[in-house]
Structure 1
Amino acid sequence: MADSTPLLSHSDSAHSITQCLEKHLPSLDSTIERCIGDFGWTQFLQASLVSFAWVFDAQQTFISVFTDAEPTWHCTRLGDESCNSVSNICHLPKNSWAWDWPIHTSIVSEWALECSGALITGLPASSFFMGCLAGGLVLATLADSSLGRKNMLFLSCLLMSIAGILTVFSTNIWIYSALRFVTGFGRGTIGTCALVLSTELVGKRWRGQVGVMGFFCFTLGFLSLPAIAYLNRGSSWRNIYLWTSIPTIFYCLLVHLLVRESPRWLFVQGRKEDALATLKSISNSTCHSDSGSGGGLSYSFSGVSIGQEAWNDDIYSAIKILLEKRWALRRLSAVMMTGFGIGIVYYGMPLGLGNLSFNLYLSVTLNALSELPASLVTFFLIGRLNRRSAILVFSILSAVCSIMCVVMGNVWTGLQIGLELVSFFSACTAFNVLLIYTIELFPTCVRNSAVSMLRQALVLGGVFSPVLVAAGRKKGFLTYGVFGIVIGFCGLFVAFLPETKGGTLCDTMDEEEEKERANLQWA
């Protein structure tokens, strides 16, 4: 972090446009930059604490890999030729086989679901993702309207953790599925709020890097699950929920006590005094008056006239304005279509590993680890990457490798898993860039809602992935072939979006429209 080179560099035209706008229209973004542009320890700690929410987000997303898994079993009667490792236990007498671990290690063994249909055994996971969709739609706009980023992050984490603890007391698959739905409902906005809040607490020089911090935390949460499951091997599946949910409660307390609200959101809501107090606590010393009274800080914003916009009169105003403004709807539709294609691959690739001729456990581990280089690439190159070009290149690369994965499957197994890993890595990188790109495309007043809609599109892609994976067990092209076609086609929609590299963050719809008109004049 000692490097002083701006990571979101300006082109000459972007710099001229910014100067033109600042000359005629007081910019909240440029004024805030003078206070928080220099990245300090306070901002680092704030951004790190907020980004850590992604750890718990990832744990609840992938926890069913261990709690809902079907345990291994063995034959109990020696000399019974009808019982062997390839037998279907549903066709065997109950006294001829037994689970390798105690029955309470999984919901499948505890509730005797081994012979239930895929619809029943997959119900908890499906309920979780349906809860994510519902939570994202219902709660996302609250972060832009009445609650704000911090309060929404706190309440979402709290709801998710409480539902996780209550899951421990489930007595059957139906109660368990209902509580997984509630868990997903709370989880639906955590990643969005954490990403938006952390990037709004720092200057544009560090916006990309702070956004990537959340991706690292998500990977950390994903990788922590095998360790937690290993430490609890042989114990009840309920212990894993306790190990992941109780720490989330303590995290919620830290968020409530230590995290500051986004100063941008406070200004947009007309809460200038609260915004100034936040800036004073996280800004560098050069933004304060010599007396330390904060008068210099207040003077810096005396020429900025901004308050709650007239259209923002209820909790769903952000969604309404996104749909009513033609330019906003065009941008939202493009990022959602791209997110849907990436979601198909992001959730589908790990689920479809069982269809490949490769060791399942090793391939799952490699897929989880491949998110780390994807985050590193985004972290170090986000300042140099054109957003549109990067997303397009990584989407096409993922598409080509996914399709080639099917073709090479009958030729070389080692090459097949290599192509699958490149495809998954490319999809992860494309999604990381797309999240930061969406933050830059939309102003503060609707930013959280826009990012939430993008994440909804990603989850919706995940809903279709299991269907394609099941169909691909007989015809391989229906899994990885379709994955490649969808992400390749959906990635083309970024061509309809403006480039944002090196640009400033707008705070109101009017400011964004003024900026777009200026871009058209300079084009």
Structure 2
Amino acid sequence: MADSTPLLSQPDSSSSPDTQKPQPPPPPRNQQHPSLGSTVELCIGEFNWSQFLQSILVSLAWIFDAQQTFISVFTDAPPAWRCTEQAGNACKTANTNTVCNLPEGSWAWDGPTQASMVSDWGLECANSSITGLPASMFFAGCLLGGFLLASLADSSLGRKNMLFFSCLVMAITSFLVTFSPNVSIYSALKFLCGFARATIGTSALVLASELVGRRWRAQISVIGFFCFTIGFLSLPAMAYINRSSSWRNLYLWTSISTMLYCILVKLFVTESPRWLLVRGKTEEAVETLKCITSITQSNLNLAINNMSHEEETCDVDIFSALKILLQNKWSSRRLSSIMAMGIGIGLVYYGMPLGLQNLSFNLYLSVIFNALSELPSALIVLFFIDKFNRRITLLLFTILSGLFSVMSTVQVSKSSSSWNNNVQIVFELVSFFSACTSFNVYLIYTTELFPTCVRNSALSMARLAVVLGGMFSPLLVSAGRGNKFLCYGVFGLVIGFSGVFGIFLPETKGRAFCDSMDEEENKEKNMACGMLLA
């Protein structure tokens, strides 16, 4: 027993170098497992048809989002009227644009009484606050829903379930609108519809971008913008077909198609593998990746097993995602800057089409031109987003939109009114096109600025700022009826100034997604150190 210790220590003290066996070098002390973000990028693999079809199916939600956003343009508009034969010349010579000053029986609606909720409920002489109440309640619901539901997709429900339930509730309330007996019930249902609709765009955009790798996420995001334009352009066709029927049919058609889409989402859409891994649902993430990945099963399991298990899982509840965003200096700075930009962009994006009535140009043509201008905007983002510096692009397009918005209020020629009208609508179209491009880049930029665990919440707050800006636009449009500068002039100044907030944000072009707050914060510190060393 006394000799045991010397025997154990003998190789270290007395063995010669010739008799010692070579030992492997110790592992480096700073060796780390692959991060969650790099693991997801590896597991997703190359872009394939499964990812493309999944992204298309998710992005279709924007069609129904656009339909409910703009449907009141046709259902709540006062229909055309005409003088009756019994009225004689009293009606024809009357200098009025409304029927309120005409005797009963001297006029009649051109179409059926049920063509609009205004004629259906006899609101042709009601105060503008009454006839505009349903649309106002819709945007009020969007604001409240955007705030209260902002973090559900990041916490308990996830991207897929949030998209499914939002579309389903929106479809149900839209269906119930067809049974509205009066404007009060109609407005309450519009509020619920807007409340449910608030998270559809954000859930669809985030889910589609997280189903593909870094190389294709921007292009896939643009698909949603195309679908939104398609939804907007589908309304005039539906309204034209329905011109001889009740306004309720528009809500019926759109609600049924949305319900059918909800079935497709429930059966065929997969959950975001990034969100599943962040939430610690590894088995579900592996099953999801099997459906969309291009790598083999063995490599998939190996990558998941080698992933670092020490990363932040960001186990958030309903409101803690917003709390996390605000309690970190870097994330609160990003959120405040991005929301300041959103208010200016939203003011013009929603206000420009409303303000067309203040321009002396054919209203129907101008609305069509504005809707079509979103297509080249989406195409530019689709093909050139990989080449765009996010901050510079937002700054340039917001300034361009502001400049042409102000120019649309200026009379070019005092002698030719038609020339002025044509020039003003061209300036307005350039301004709206620039605002659409800014809006598209703005949404993509927001998804890149925040990590997976709070990405949906941050994007919801960004869209909430856009809706907030849009709520001020009707007031400016009303004020601009007497002075165009109070409408388009103010639009231009606000959006032009909003782009300046982008200089306080980091550039994200070509950068991989981060999945945790710690990972994003470390990247922020490394970027700051690099700038100091440079």
- State the TM-score, normalized to the length of structure 1: 0.92
Which residue identity lines up with residue 130 of structure 2 in the other structure?
A: I
Measured in 2, the distance between the counterparts of 1:85 and 1:145 equals 62
Q: Unpaired runs of 5+ in structure 2?
A: 1-29, 415-419
Matches within 5 A, 1:149-168: 149-168=159-178
Q: 1:310: Cα distance to partner?
A: 6.8
Greater Rg over alpha carbons, structure: 2
The 2-side partners of 1:106 and 1:513 are apart by: 53
User: In the alignment, does 2:189 pair up with 1:186?
Assistant: no
Deviates more, 1:99-108 or 1:80-89: 80-89
Distance in 2, matches of 1:23 and 1:186, equals 47
The aligned counterpart of 1:79 is 88
The alignment partner of 2:108 has SS state of: strand
Partner of 1:449: 457
For the Cα contact (< 8 Å) 2:279–2:314, is it kept in 1? Answer: no
Counterpart secondary structure, 1:142: coil
Asked whether the equivalents of residues 64 and 258 of structure 2 are also in contact (C-alpha less than 8 Å), the reply is yes
Per mean C-alpha deviation after superposition, the further-off stretch among 439-448 and 408-417 is 408-417
1:187-242 deviation digits (Å, cap 9, x = unpaired)? 00000000000000000110110000000000000000001111111100000011
Residues 267, 388 of structure 1: alpha-carbon distance in 2 compared, 3 angstrom cutoff: same
Q: Read off the aligned partner of 2:239 and give its amino acid letter.
A: A
Deviates more, 1:430-439 or 1:35-44: 35-44
The aligned residue for residue 406 of structure 1 is 409
Q: Where does residue 44 of structure 2 map in the other structure?
A: 36
AA at the equivalent of 2:408 = C
Aligned equivalents of 1:73, 1:48: Cα separation in 2: 43
Instruction: Report the residue type matching 2:495 in the other structure.
Output: I
Contact 1:75 1:84 in 2 (8 A): no
Partners of 1:339 and 1:455 within 8 A in 2:
yes
Contact persistence 1:312–1:318 (CA under 8 A): no
Encode CA deviations 1:413-432: one digit per residue, 9 max, x unaligned. Answer: 21110000000000000010
1:379 to 378, 382, 398: 382
Q: Distance in 1 between matches of 2:369 and 2:227?
A: 17
Change (3 A) 1:428 1:134: same
Matches within 5 A, 1:109-120: 109-120=119-130
1:505 lines up with 2:508 in the alignment = no
Q: String of CA shifts for 1:219-278, please: whole Å, max 9, x gaps.
A: 000000001111111100000011111010010011011000000000010101111111
Distance 1:308 1:94, change over 3 A: farther
Structure 1 pair 394–23 and aligned structure 2 pair: CA distance change class (3 A):
farther
Tell me what 1:479 maps to: 487
Whichever residue aligns with residue 463 of structure 1, its letter is M
Q: Equivalent residues in 2 for 1:96-495 (5 A)?
A: 96-284=106-294, 287-288=295-296, 294-306=297-309, 309=312, 312-408=315-411, 411=414, 412-495=420-503
CA contact (8 A) 2:151 2:321 kept: yes
Q: Please, what is the CA RMSD of the aligned residues? A: 1.5
Gaps of 5+ in 1: 1-21, 289-293
Contact 2:280 2:313 in 1 (8 A): no
Q: Are the aligned partners of 1:163 and 1:179 in contact in 2 as well (CA < 8 Å)?
A: yes
Aligned partner of residue 74 in structure 1, secondary structure: strand
Q: Separation in 1 of the partners of 2:154 and 2:93? A: 58
Contact 2:335 2:458 in 1 (8 A): yes
Over the matched positions of the two proteins, sequence identity in percent amounts to 61
CA distance in 1: counterparts of 2:54 and 2:283, whole angstroms: 20
The separation in 2 between residues aligned to 1:410 and 1:247, in whole angstroms, is 49
Distance, in Å, in 2 between the alignment partners of 1:467 and 1:53 is: 30
The answer to whether the 8 A contact 1:270-1:307 is kept is no
Residues 87 and 107, structure 2, Cα contact 8 Å, conserved in 1: no
DSSP-derived class of the 2:290 partner: helix
Note the C-alpha offset of 1:35: 2.7
Alignment partner, residue 65 of structure 2: 57
CA contact (8 A) 1:73 1:100 kept: yes
- Matched letter for residue 336 of structure 2: S
Q: Which amino acid aligns with 1:73?
A: W
- Whether contact under 8 Å (2:36, 2:311) holds in the other structure is no
Take 1:85 and 1:450, find their aligned partners in 2: how far apart are those partners? Answer: 55
Q: Structure 1's 84 and 70: CA in aligned 2 closer, same or farther, altered over 3 A? A: farther
**Contact 1:37–1:205 under 8 Å retained in 2:** no
Q: CA deviation at 1:29?
A: 2.2
State how far apart, in whole Å, the 2-side matches of 1:277 and 1:248 are: 28
Secondary structure of the residue aligned to 1:91 is coil
Between stretches 448-457 and 513-522, larger displacement belongs to 513-522
Name the SS of the counterpart of 1:377 in structure 2: helix
| Aligned-partner Cα distance in 1 for 2:245–2:413 | 40
Q: Determine the structure 2 residue equivalent to 1:16.
A: none
Report how far residue 475 of structure 1 moved.
1.1
What are the superposed Cα offsets for residues 146-203 of structure 1, whole Å, 9 maximum, x if unpaired? 1000000000000000000000000100000000000001100000000000000000
Whole-angstrom distance in 2 between the partners of 1:295 and 1:197: 26
Q: Which residue of 1 aligns with 2:3?
A: none
Partner of 2:101: 91
Q: CA deviation at 1:311?
A: 5.9
TM-score normalized with structure 2 length? 0.91
SS of match in other structure, 1:115: coil
User: Which 10-residue stretch deviates more, 272-281 or 149-158?
Assistant: 272-281
- 8 Å contact from structure 2 (residues 35, 311) kept in 1: no
